[in-house]
Structure 1
């Protein structure tokens, strides 16, 4: 079945073993040189596999771990359905029921959906854009370990009989220490916060990789459509996840330290948690949907044999949806007493988001109409996605209407809508993607016959389970009830829903059996077994460790369909850049952000233990906080600092020009440039830091607006020190600008002196903010507590900038940084300016906060 699929535009299907090869050009080096290149990219084995940072190793880790969490959450869901199968059931106690549905939602939303899609992104991005690896491989490995340790913390709550039971949204005041004693909510808050580090690090990595490491000629308009989906998703993660992180930290601070962020008796507001949570929660629906839809947009043209219809319209729809999704968060708060005008605005925005969603669906349908699709197993899941997600979108428009929402709120109608959108919009495309890309993981094809059984079991079971929930919701059954009386019209519907859930589970079990079976007896996959158009199929599965022996020039959006030299020539013999490797280091090409033309050679790291060490330190820090063993927190912070320092202490290769082997181009290694992958990655990081900062400002402004009496009663920060902080912020900004600019022409002595002067000003700025906050009691009001939280956050940023300046100065002192290698200073300058800007805003806020005592 591997090489019989028709190609578009009259092209012949590629053969994995061409009968008559074209003459090879740029043949890979033979003998020891050829072996050396393989050795450079060889993956470690044994226990050293934990030090691997390759995108394929890290991507597989995300996929395997995410799927295991999916199975655990699925078992919890089956137990919940067994409890609701009949009226007045005593199979589960109310406490156990609450724990199971809380952990089901928590794992599905935080430990399965996003990490699973991140796994696909980490694995596929370099293969699809013509890169040898992600531009920050160690960041991906670090993010995975944070995700793993965070998930372990959350699940370990069962071992201590402290499983969270407050719902996956952890609403306050029920989740405060007054109503939830013990550590159950703390396991949720600390574990999820640690796991979310993986999401924000993945966002930075995805943005930098897609923008900075595409193959020559792959402009933004020639990118595979999946890259646009992933790029939009990464920007959404960078903005949407910080409010959840800030909300979790504030709630944990209230539980641990007694700070009154949500205590209404001291000016707090429980609705503040909902605002922060849903600022993350509603965009997350689209963060889950967009990568899955991007996979559909990638697979669909393959089985139709035609390019995606309306590529430009689909891209515009994705960008539009990513913007609109941030205007919908109160869509979940219609029943909380918001003003009528707010309800109208959020209702309109909730309806508007259906437009870009519909544009994408119509692009998919129009693509289907261009040819006769081949009904493979992935195609079955694509069609299932279209059917289920469209139904979920229709009920979404219904709940966007305020009058209907008030009737359906917190009923099983909403449960049904949520699952139609998320399972239809993510799980079905995910299974299609697993069947489609599994040759990359195993080199073999899964069974078409068993795969269709898997689809029909999942499709029929899903619709039986969740369509009935629409009806139980319309008949008034509320969410999150452990049992119900008989004879009120819910009995048979719940019985059918439970039967459907087990049919769905049978389909997933059959998939697992087929996966392990195919590893032994599945037919071997040839080169490009589906007849696809994208670069990940250039080699025969399983792809080599370096992805591309030489990085080819791309002239088409469908390179394997439109560039015969790629389709008909084995991947190892394709003409391209970086075939030579005189420095014996892992390398890929850096490109212009818009045009895709080569700009630099990116030096990539070899396997290293430092990401694991840094993640272990953070996990120890978070776990010790959970256990209130604070001396152990200090040890964890020290281990993490050692990991980060070792990570950053590496020789700088910037400024060395070298021939890349195509078109006579000589390019620098790790160029000192605003389009450098390091600078783009730093910009993404700064965007996340600003989102964290503005989430805290939002909390303060919200309390100032809703609780003006308590805000006015707050003591004023010391005006003189706020003014000094304002002045020092301007000085720090100017010094950071000078540090960032001086690297091109100043001596090491001059730049080192600037680093030391910047460090001194940063210390002074920290002291000014501390003295400005000294008159304020953070336990007096929620508004005062938010002021201290902003000060603490800013102190953390200043501390990072301070350590960075000392680190750079130390590297210069020991000769680790050579003249002309100013990239660390350029990056420090950008970070310093961002920190100074936030300090300036904070100083102004302190000047106008509160009233005199």
Structure 2
């Protein structure tokens, strides 16, 4: 009997090895440069997003530190007014459009298929196209900076200053087309993420059993789909005013500059929550794992995320309290701006209750959660203050507002992002980051950030306006600005420590197994790092925490090995419906992105570029979507252990 058992086990192990080898061949990329250019592996695409974002954050951080050095003391001449305006505009545009939203989508591109137990995204080539187009927007903005034609009107470029009468040249055009680049890329990624979550969940993962991270990414993707067409429209209208003499924002010809603000902020304020809502998913995943229990009030958390997704579209006018709108309208948007704090507050109480009622282990990812909770609450409280129209009239366009939105964006999004990076780093690399250096980076970043930005509240109340490059000694702003500059330098030092820790851990970090944190969601069932095909078999789910409730994990048979296949399931109950061929690597997403990029860049100089650009785009898309001969489906799907 023992010999028979050993032979059976040996055959099963050999069969599993052969299956893994066949899967690796089926899902492998081509070697060398061709494989780099043609890959549709969601993990490689997400890694490129993240590496690009890290470089941009460093560049934008250096710009911020340069501006802080200029403001460290009255009357300094490190930067002149023109260079200061360019630095301010480039810093804001980079952080808001090229860092904050793309990095959240990159985390989803990497994690969503793994958390669903799938081998790929719903539209792998669309993911590749989104990255290449995003990279085109990055290069256009920063190459323009290298050639001395940096946008210089802020990160929102209000007309009439951005109109043809007051902004000759192409600085404003470059900013506007950068928006178009990044928003088309964001829309492509969001459609991909939403479709994957809705139609590719594993058996058993009903809507009620979806991890909160998936809910957060679904809501964030839908917000992107509904809000970003507004900013693409308004920047296209601006380019039309400048290039073909339309008059959307020219009062003398019947236009209205306030139309720009309405359309811009209809996107601009939901963008804050497009950035924050994924952070809700990060924080929940970390809190659950390190508290050893599922989040308290899961359904309440889901409903609160949905409430934020809806309410975020009803308060854009609080950015416009000073433009002279009717008082009744201001009162409505004041109420809406305060109401959105309620679901956010509910989430915070649920996280605290989860930690309190669990068995918390204070590792570095959970430390970032504590930094997020404290900092974001402070930013939320100042947000309630600025939501009041009478008070906002006094502090609008002061450093109080600068402090507020940095507390919300950095505390509410970047801190959870750094915690998520530390949390999923061993899954991506197979190594653990150093806890000691992680804590040092945490202390430097959180301490330096608060030292740098809390004094700005006081400076704003003292009357210091934003977007000034120097000030007089008699105003008394020097000491607090010096403290803010020192704090900013400490935070940037902490960021360098964090990046160095991540890089050194690739070589010297302790080896991580598949589940070093003993997590509960499906991504921890894959090896670390995951292979190109992610999972040999599609896992099944019976609860919110399948890795805690199912030992061993049940899997689904029937997904192909010799060809790229994924499982498609029903939206509500995740019942398996059919197997879908997943597309192989292709050069055409890159070619399509190059064609679209050429049209966008050319349209800065002549409207005929749009006409001429349609032909190469049409050719590239036609070849991309040319139908392939499909093989008849075969085999049955069955659940086994």
TM range, smaller chain: over 0.9
What does 1:160-171 correspond to in 2, within 5 Å? 160-171=147-158
- TM-score, with length taken from structure 2: 0.96
* Correspondence for 1:607: 585
Instruction: Tell me by how many angstroms 1:31 deviates.
Output: 7.2
Contact 1:151 1:192 in 2 (8 A): no
What does 1:579-658 correspond to in 2, within 5 Å? 579-581=559-561, 584-628=562-606, 630=608, 636-651=613-628, 653=630, 656-658=632-634
Q: 1:578 to 1:544 in 2, by over 3 A?
A: farther
* Correspondence for 1:90: 77
Does 2:31 match 1:45?
yes
CA distance in structure 2 between the aligned counterparts of 1:634 and 1:52, rounded to whole angstroms = 30
CA distance in structure 1 between the aligned counterparts of 2:273 and 2:10, rounded to whole angstroms = 46
CA distance in structure 1 between the aligned counterparts of 2:596 and 2:375, rounded to whole angstroms = 40
Instruction: Tell me by how many angstroms 1:26 deviates.
Output: 7.2
What does 1:746-785 correspond to in 2, within 5 Å? none
2:538 aligned counterpart, secondary structure: coil
* Higher RCO (CA < 8 A, seq sep 6+): 2
Q: 1:652 to 1:331 in 2, by over 3 A?
A: farther
Residue number among 336, 339, 346 corresponding to 2:333 in the alignment? 346
CA distance in structure 1 between the aligned counterparts of 2:88 and 2:262, rounded to whole angstroms = 22
* Correspondence for 2:477: 490
Instruction: Tell me by how many angstroms 1:633 deviates.
Output: 5.3
* Correspondence for 1:283: 270
Q: 1:26 to 1:322 in 2, by over 3 A?
A: farther
- When Rg is computed on C-alpha atoms for both structures, the one with the higher figure is 1
CA distance in structure 1 between the aligned counterparts of 2:443 and 2:299, rounded to whole angstroms = 33
Q: 1:31 to 1:499 in 2, by over 3 A?
A: closer
1:753-778 C-alpha deviation (Å, 9 max, x unpaired): xxxxxxxxxxxxxxxxxxxxxxxxxx
* Correspondence for 1:377: 364
1:653-692 C-alpha deviation (Å, 9 max, x unpaired): 38x442244059xxxxxxxxxxxxxxxxxxxxxxxxxxxx
CA distance in structure 1 between the aligned counterparts of 2:30 and 2:436, rounded to whole angstroms = 37
Instruction: Tell me by how many angstroms 1:629 deviates.
Output: 8.4
CA distance in structure 2 between the aligned counterparts of 1:256 and 1:627, rounded to whole angstroms = 8
Does 2:482 match 1:502?
no
* Correspondence for 1:9: none
Instruction: Tell me by how many angstroms 1:195 deviates.
Output: 1.6
* Correspondence for 1:413: 400
1:591-631 C-alpha deviation (Å, 9 max, x unpaired): 0100011011111011100100000001111112223384x
Does 2:558 match 1:578?
yes
1:590 aligned counterpart, secondary structure: strand
* Correspondence for 1:231: 218
1:548-604 C-alpha deviation (Å, 9 max, x unpaired): 1010221111011110112xxxxxxx64233543xx221110001000110111110
* Correspondence for 2:120: 133
CA distance in structure 2 between the aligned counterparts of 1:189 and 1:635, rounded to whole angstroms = 20
CA distance in structure 2 between the aligned counterparts of 1:626 and 1:455, rounded to whole angstroms = 43
Instruction: Tell me by how many angstroms 1:650 deviates.
Output: 2.3
Instruction: Tell me by how many angstroms 1:36 deviates.
Output: 2.5
Contact 2:557 2:639 in 1 (8 A): no
Contact 1:55 1:140 in 2 (8 A): yes
Residue number among 182, 189, 196 corresponding to 1:202 in the alignment? 189
1:176-232 C-alpha deviation (Å, 9 max, x unpaired): 111111111111011221121111111111110000001111101111110000011
* Correspondence for 2:501: 514
Q: 1:598 to 1:501 in 2, by over 3 A?
A: same
Q: 1:204 to 1:214 in 2, by over 3 A?
A: same
Residue number among 515, 522, 535 corresponding to 2:522 in the alignment? 535
Instruction: Tell me by how many angstroms 1:23 deviates.
Output: 6.9
1:689-710 C-alpha deviation (Å, 9 max, x unpaired): xxxxxxxxxxxxxxxxxxxxxx
CA distance in structure 2 between the aligned counterparts of 1:322 and 1:629, rounded to whole angstroms = 36
- TM-score, with length taken from structure 1: 0.73
Instruction: Tell me by how many angstroms 1:58 deviates.
Output: 1.1
Instruction: Tell me by how many angstroms 1:459 deviates.
Output: 0.7
What does 1:21-100 correspond to in 2, within 5 Å? 29=15, 34-48=20-34, 49-100=36-87
Q: 1:26 to 1:406 in 2, by over 3 A?
A: farther
* Correspondence for 2:3: none
Contact 2:287 2:295 in 1 (8 A): yes
CA distance in structure 2 between the aligned counterparts of 1:494 and 1:207, rounded to whole angstroms = 44
CA distance in structure 2 between the aligned counterparts of 1:213 and 1:201, rounded to whole angstroms = 17
Instruction: Tell me by how many angstroms 1:50 deviates.
Output: 1.3
Does 2:347 match 1:360?
yes
2:566 aligned counterpart, secondary structure: strand
Of the structure 1 ranges 504-513 and 435-444, higher mean CA displacement relative to structure 2 is found in 435-444
CA distance in structure 1 between the aligned counterparts of 2:138 and 2:613, rounded to whole angstroms = 18
Contact 1:331 1:350 in 2 (8 A): yes
CA distance in structure 1 between the aligned counterparts of 2:14 and 2:616, rounded to whole angstroms = 43
* Correspondence for 1:154: 141
1:502-536 C-alpha deviation (Å, 9 max, x unpaired): 00000001112112211111111112001110111
Q: 1:372 to 1:210 in 2, by over 3 A?
A: same
* Correspondence for 1:15: none
What does 1:526-565 correspond to in 2, within 5 Å? 526-565=513-552
CA distance in structure 2 between the aligned counterparts of 1:24 and 1:285, rounded to whole angstroms = 55
What does 1:706-717 correspond to in 2, within 5 Å? none
Instruction: Tell me by how many angstroms 1:57 deviates.
Output: 1.2
1:602 aligned counterpart, secondary structure: strand
* Correspondence for 2:299: 312
Q: 1:26 to 1:271 in 2, by over 3 A?
A: farther
Of the structure 1 ranges 632-641 and 283-292, higher mean CA displacement relative to structure 2 is found in 632-641
Does 2:235 match 1:248?
yes
CA distance in structure 2 between the aligned counterparts of 1:494 and 1:71, rounded to whole angstroms = 22
Contact 1:67 1:116 in 2 (8 A): no
Q: 1:629 to 1:250 in 2, by over 3 A?
A: closer
RMSD over aligned Cα, in angstroms? Answer: 1.8
1:576 aligned counterpart, secondary structure: strand
* Correspondence for 2:635: 659
CA distance in structure 1 between the aligned counterparts of 2:457 and 2:529, rounded to whole angstroms = 44
Instruction: Tell me by how many angstroms 1:339 deviates.
Output: 0.5
CA distance in structure 2 between the aligned counterparts of 1:660 and 1:132, rounded to whole angstroms = 19
**Long gaps (5+) in structure 2:** 1-5
CA distance in structure 1 between the aligned counterparts of 2:555 and 2:262, rounded to whole angstroms = 54
Q: 1:27 to 1:598 in 2, by over 3 A?
A: farther
1:589 aligned counterpart, secondary structure: strand
CA distance in structure 2 between the aligned counterparts of 1:129 and 1:31, rounded to whole angstroms = 23
2:77 aligned counterpart, secondary structure: coil
